[in-house]
Chain A
Amino acid sequence: MRVMAQMGMVMNLDKCIGCHTCSVTCKQAWTNRAGTEYVWFNNVETRPGQGYPRRYEDQETWKGGWTLTHRGSLKLKAGGRVQKLLGIFASPVQPKLADYYEPWTYDYQTLIEAPLGDDFPVARPKSLITGENTKITWSANWDDNLGGASEMGHLDPIVAKLNASVRRESEEKVRFELEKTFMFYLPRICEHCLNPSCMASCPSGAIYKREEDGIVLVDQDRCRGWRQCITGCPYKKIYFNHKSGKAEKCTFCYPRVEVGLPTVCSETCVGRLRYLGLFLYDADRVTAAAATPDEGDLYEAQLDLLLDPSDPEVVAAARRDGIPDDWMDAARRSPVYALAKTYRVALPLHPEYRTMPMVWYVPPLSPIVDVLSSQGHDAEDRTVLFGAIEALRIPVDYLAELFTAGRTDIITGVLQKLAAMRAYMRDVSLGRDGDPAIPEAVGMSEESLYEMYRLMAIAKYADRYVIPTAHVERAHELEEIGCSLDFDEGPGMYESGPFGEASGRPAPVAVETFNALKQRQTSDTAMATTESGSLTGRVNLLNWDGNGAPPGLFPGRSDGDSP
C-alpha cells in the first residue's frame, strides 16, 4: 500500500441552477488571454445536450481515455506509443475550432464612431481568430436550457446510445417535447484523474500529477505542443493555446488551494453545490483498478481505491509515506470522502473511460421530483418518490450512462437515498417524529441520514471546504521574499523578449503588480494606446485609472465634416 493524497471535488447537481457563474469567474481568472479565447476550464452543460466541445463523449470518434487489450491490460484508446509517435506530425483525431466554437467579440466602436444618420449603428460580431466579420453559429453553451433540443437532442451521445440500445427498444425513445423532457445541469472541470490518459498521451512528459495533492498540471516549459493530450483526454478538458502553442488545463486553482482557499469556481458558486476536500488513495492499486474487466464494476473499483483515513493501518502507512498529520486530520473531515465513500451518494463522471476521475457528482433527484409535482403528486412522499424512481426509466438510464457506465441499480440506490433524506427530513422539519423506517429502507441509520442532511442541505462553508494548506517550510525561498530584490529595474523588466510575447524569462507577480501600482499612483498620464481603429486601441474601462482622458476614450473629432 502506497498512500497518496488527492484533492477532490464533489458537485451536488440537485443544486445547480445553471447560472454559469463558475464558468465566468473561472474564465476571468484563468483564460481571458490571447490564444485561450475559446477555452473554458469550467463549463456548464445542459443535459441532455451535446456538451462542449460538441459530442465529446463519443469516444468512437474522439478516441479519448483508455481501453482494454484482449489480454486485459490498459491501452490508450488512440493507440500505443509507436502509433502515437507516428501520428505526431498531424494529430489524426483532433477537435477543430469549429467543434468548440469560433470565439468572437463585437465591434462596439461603430456604436460611438458612426456618423449621424437615420439608421442606428450596430455592433457586428467579429471573430477573435481572424478579426473578420463573423456569423455566430455555436458557442460553449449553445444548447443551454435545451435550446434547440427538439432539433438536435438526438445528437447527445448518451441519448443516441439509449435510443439505439436493445434494452430500450420496447419503450419509447427519449423525447424532447417540452412536457416530456427532463433536464439538469452538469458543470465540468478537469477531473484530475488518478490514471490520467492525457498524461499518458503526452510525448514530452510535460503533464504531471503532483505527489502532494494529486493536482494534474501542464509544465509550460516542457510542453512542446505535440497536441496528443487533447486527443487523450476523454473529457476534452485539455485545450491548445493557439497563441503560445502549448496545452493548458484547469489547475484546480492550485495557488489558492495551497493557501487553503477554495477554487474560484467553488468560491463563487451561487448554489453552493461544490465540495472540496481530500481523498487518500492507494497508488499501487490504481492501474489494476482501472483495468477492471467489466465496465460496470469500475465505480466499485474506484471506491475501493479510496482509503479510510480513520483506519489505523492506513494512518500508519500514511505516516510512513510522509503525509503530514494536519493533512490526515483534513482527510478525516473531508466532505468529499464522506459523500463518495461513507454515504455513497457521489459518483464519478464516466467511469468507463478508465481514468479514475476525481471530480464526483451527486446525481440530481430534481428531474424526477419535477415530473411528479407537475403530475400533481406529493413529490416528497417516500412511497411516491421510490415508486417514481423505478418507474421513470429515462432519467435513470440517462444518469446511469453518465455516472455508472450503465449500472441503473447504483443510480437507483443513490436516488433512493436522496429521496429518503427528503422524506425523513420533512417529518423532522414539520415537528413530527422522524420515521426510522425511512433510513432503514436505504440501509442507513437515522444519525447518518441526519449527518448527510447537514452536509448536503445546510452545507456550511467550513463543512464544504476542508482544504489543508501546503507545507511551506521553505518560505524564505519564495520569490515574494527572496528573489524580488533581484529585480529592481522598474517596469522595463516585464517587456516582452526578442521572440515576441511568448519568450523571455517571467517577471515575478509581486514585482509586476508593485511596478504597475507605482506607475499608476505616480504618473500623470494614463496608459498609452495605439492608433485608432485597432481592437487594442480601445480603452478598457476596467483598467482605466481615472487619470486624464486616454486617447480612444472619446471618439476622435474628424476635421471639417463634423456636423
Chain B
Amino acid sequence: MSTFLWGVLPYLCIASLVGGTVWRYRYDKFGWTTRSSQLYESRLLRIGSPLFHFGILLVFVGHVGGLVIPEQWTEAVGVSEGLYHFNALLFGGLAGVCTLAGILILVYRRRTTGPVFMATTKNDKLMYVLLVGAIVLGLWTTLVSVGAGSEAHNYRETVSPWFRSVLLLSPDVTAMAAAPVQFHVHAIVGMLLFALWPFTRLVHAFTAPLHYLFRPYIVYRSRDGRTSGNRSSRPGWSGVGTSDRDRRP
C-alpha cells in the first residue's frame, strides 16, 4: 500500500499534470480562461478573491520552502529547527487561514448568487471539494503541530525528503510512510488536486500574466493567411438561452 501511495501515485499524478496540461494547451486554448464571474457579482468577490489568491500564493511559497529546501541548508545558514518551525507555523497558519477564509467567501458567493451558481459546472464542484479539502487538511497538519508544541513532528525529516526523492525519480517510500496520518491525507488530496488540475479552470494559474510587466503596450500582429476570407468558426458559441439558462419549473 505504501509503495503504491508514495511510490506509484505521485508519478501517476505528475503524468496527469504534465500530460494533461500539454494536451489541454494544444487542444483547448479557447477554454483556457479564468471563467471570471465578476460580471454577475463583485461585492463579495472583491473581498474573497484577493484574500484567497494572495493567501494561496503565500502558501505556495511556503510549500516550496518547506519541501524543496533541505533542512541542512537552513541549518547551515544558522536557522535552527525550532525557529524555522515557529516561523512556518506562524506565517503558514496565517496564510492558510486567509486562504481558507477567502475560499469560503467565494464558495458561499457561488452558492448564493443565482447567476454564479448557474455558471458552476460539475467539474468546478469536484475541483472545489479537492481544493477546499487540501486547504483544510493542510491547516489540520498545522493545528496538530501547534498543539504538539515542541514535540511536533518534523516533516522536514520525512515528507520533504520523500518529495525531493520523488522528483529525483527514486522515491523514498519509507520516509513518507513514517510521517503521521494527517500528512498522509493532506498529501494524497494534494496529489489528486494536481492530477485534476489541467482539466479544471485552475489552469489559469499556469498562464499568470507576469510577462505583462515587460511587454510593450501596443501589440502589432500581422494578419495570418488563415484568417483571410472564409475562416474557422469558434467552438463554444451557442444560441441565446442555452440549457443552463433554461426556464425552471
Q: Which of A88, A208, A258, A530 contacts B220 (CB 8 A)?
A: A208
Residues in chain B near residue A254, CB distance under 8 A: 227
**Is there contact, CB below 8 Å, between B228 and A33?**
no
**Is there contact, CB below 8 Å, between A470 and B245?**
no
Q: Which of B33, B115, B219 contacts A244 (CB 8 A)?
A: B33
Residues in chain B near residue A226, CB distance under 8 A: 34, 36, 209
Bound-state Cα–Cα, A101 to B113, Å? 17
Q: A200 contacts the other chain (Cβ, under 8 Å)? A: yes
Q: With A89-B49, A211-B222 in contact, do A506 and B232 touch (Cβ < 8 Å)?
A: yes
**Is there contact, CB below 8 Å, between B115 and A130?**
yes
Residues in chain A near residue B209, CB distance under 8 A: 85, 88, 203-205, 224, 226
Residues in chain B near residue A207, CB distance under 8 A: 219
Q: With A207-B219, A534-B247 in contact, do A503 and B34 touch (Cβ < 8 Å)?
A: no
**Is there contact, CB below 8 Å, between A107 and B247?**
yes
Which candidate, A294-302, A430-438, A473-481, A549-557, is the interface stretch facing chain B? Answer: A473-481
Which candidate, B80-88, B136-144, B235-243, is the interface stretch facing chain A? Answer: B235-243
Q: A497 contacts the other chain (Cβ, under 8 Å)? A: yes
Q: Which of A210, A222, A478, A504 contacts B222 (CB 8 A)?
A: A210
**Is there contact, CB below 8 Å, between A478 and B121?**
no
27 contacts between A and B (CB under 8 A): A32-B239, A33-B240, A34-B245, A89-B53, A203-B209, A210-B220, A220-B30, A226-B34, A240-B39, A242-B39, A242-B115, A243-B238, A258-B223, A477-B225, A478-B225, A479-B226, A497-B235, A501-B235, A503-B236, A504-B27, A507-B233, A507-B235, A508-B232, A512-B233, A534-B243, A535-B247, A540-B239
Q: A212 contacts the other chain (Cβ, under 8 Å)? A: yes
Residues in chain A near residue B60, CB distance under 8 A: none
Bound-state Cα–Cα, A255 to B211, Å? 31
Ordered nearest first, which 6 A-B pairs have the shortest CB separation?
A203-B209, A502-B236, A200-B217, A245-B33, A221-B29, A535-B241
Q: A128 contacts the other chain (Cβ, under 8 Å)? A: yes
**Is there contact, CB below 8 Å, between B50 and A535?**
no
**Is there contact, CB below 8 Å, between B42 and A90?**
yes
Bound-state Cα–Cα, A92 to B49, Å? 12
A526-542: contact bitstring with B at CB < 8 Å (1 yes, 0 no)? 00001001111000100
Q: A121 contacts the other chain (Cβ, under 8 Å)? A: no
Inter-chain residue pair count (beta carbon < 8 A): 247
Q: A167 contacts the other chain (Cβ, under 8 Å)? A: no
Assign chain B's interface to a size class. 35 or more
Q: Give the residues from 450 to 495 in chain A that come closer than 8 angstroms, CB to CB, to chain B.
A: 470, 472, 474-475, 477-480
**B interface list, Cβ under 8 A from A:** 27-40, 42, 45-46, 49-50, 52-54, 114-115, 118-119, 121, 123, 199, 204, 207, 209-213, 215, 217-223, 225-243, 245-249
Residues in chain B near residue A25, CB distance under 8 A: none
Q: With A131-B246, A472-B229 in contact, do A81 and B213 touch (Cβ < 8 Å)?
A: yes
Q: With A131-B248, A506-B235, A535-B247 in contact, do A245 and B34 touch (Cβ < 8 Å)?
A: yes
Nearest chain A CB to B114 CB, angstrom units: 5
Q: Give the residues from 92 to 111 in chain A that come closer than 8 angstroms, CB to CB, to chain B.
A: 92, 94, 96-97, 105, 107
Nearest chain A CB to B196 CB, angstrom units: 13
**Is there contact, CB below 8 Å, between A205 and B215?**
yes
**Is there contact, CB below 8 Å, between A227 and B36?**
yes
**Is there contact, CB below 8 Å, between A478 and B228?**
yes
Q: A196 contacts the other chain (Cβ, under 8 Å)? A: yes
Bound-state Cα–Cα, A501 to B219, Å? 30
**Is there contact, CB below 8 Å, between B33 and A223?**
yes
Q: A310 contacts the other chain (Cβ, under 8 Å)? A: no
**Is there contact, CB below 8 Å, between B33 and A246?**
yes
**Is there contact, CB below 8 Å, between A503 and B31?**
yes
Q: A417 contacts the other chain (Cβ, under 8 Å)? A: no
| A interface, over-half SS | loop
Q: Which of A89, A130, A202 contacts B118 (CB 8 A)?
A: A130
Residues in chain B near residue A509, CB distance under 8 A: 230-233
Closest to A66 in B: B217
Closest to A215 in B: B223
Q: A126 contacts the other chain (Cβ, under 8 Å)? A: yes
Residues in chain A near residue B243, CB distance under 8 A: 530, 534, 536
Q: Which of A88, A129, A255 contacts B245 (CB 8 A)?
A: A129
Q: A525 contacts the other chain (Cβ, under 8 Å)? A: no
**Is there contact, CB below 8 Å, between A131 and B245?**
yes
Interface size counted on chain A using CB atoms at 8 A: 89
Closest to A540 in B: B239
Q: Which of B28, B29, B40, B46 contacts A222 (CB 8 A)?
A: B29
**Is there contact, CB below 8 Å, between B212 and A85?**
yes
Residues in chain B near residue A211, CB distance under 8 A: 220-223
Q: A195 contacts the other chain (Cβ, under 8 Å)? A: yes
**Is there contact, CB below 8 Å, between B239 and A33?**
yes
Bound-state Cα–Cα, A530 to B247, Å? 13
Residues in chain A near residue B246, CB distance under 8 A: 131, 534-536
Q: With A224-B32, A535-B246 in contact, do A505 and B233 touch (Cβ < 8 Å)?
A: no
Residues in chain A near residue B33, CB distance under 8 A: 223-225, 244-246
Bound-state Cα–Cα, A504 to B213, Å? 31
Q: Which of A132, A203, A242 contacts B212 (CB 8 A)?
A: A203
**Is there contact, CB below 8 Å, between A497 and B28?**
yes
Residues in chain B near residue A240, CB distance under 8 A: 36, 38-39
Bound-state Cα–Cα, A202 to B218, Å? 10
Closest to A495 in B: B235
Q: With A96-B42, A203-B209 in contact, do A536 and B239 touch (Cβ < 8 Å)?
A: yes
Bound-state Cα–Cα, A334 to B238, Å? 38
Q: Which of B37, B40, B42, B229 contacts A255 (CB 8 A)?
A: B229
Bound-state Cα–Cα, A291 to B209, Å? 27
Bound-state Cα–Cα, A259 to B223, Å? 14
Q: Which of A222, A242, A470, A504 contacts B37 (CB 8 A)?
A: A242
Q: A213 contacts the other chain (Cβ, under 8 Å)? A: yes
Nearest chain A CB to B20 CB, angstrom units: 12
Closest to B248 in A: A131
Residues in chain B near residue A131, CB distance under 8 A: 118, 245-248
**Is there contact, CB below 8 Å, between A82 and B247?**
no
Residues in chain A near residue B54, CB distance under 8 A: 89
Bound-state Cα–Cα, A37 to B40, Å? 13
Q: A199 contacts the other chain (Cβ, under 8 Å)? A: yes
Bound-state Cα–Cα, A105 to B246, Å? 12
**Is there contact, CB below 8 Å, between A212 and B237?**
no
**Is there contact, CB below 8 Å, between A132 and B114?**
yes
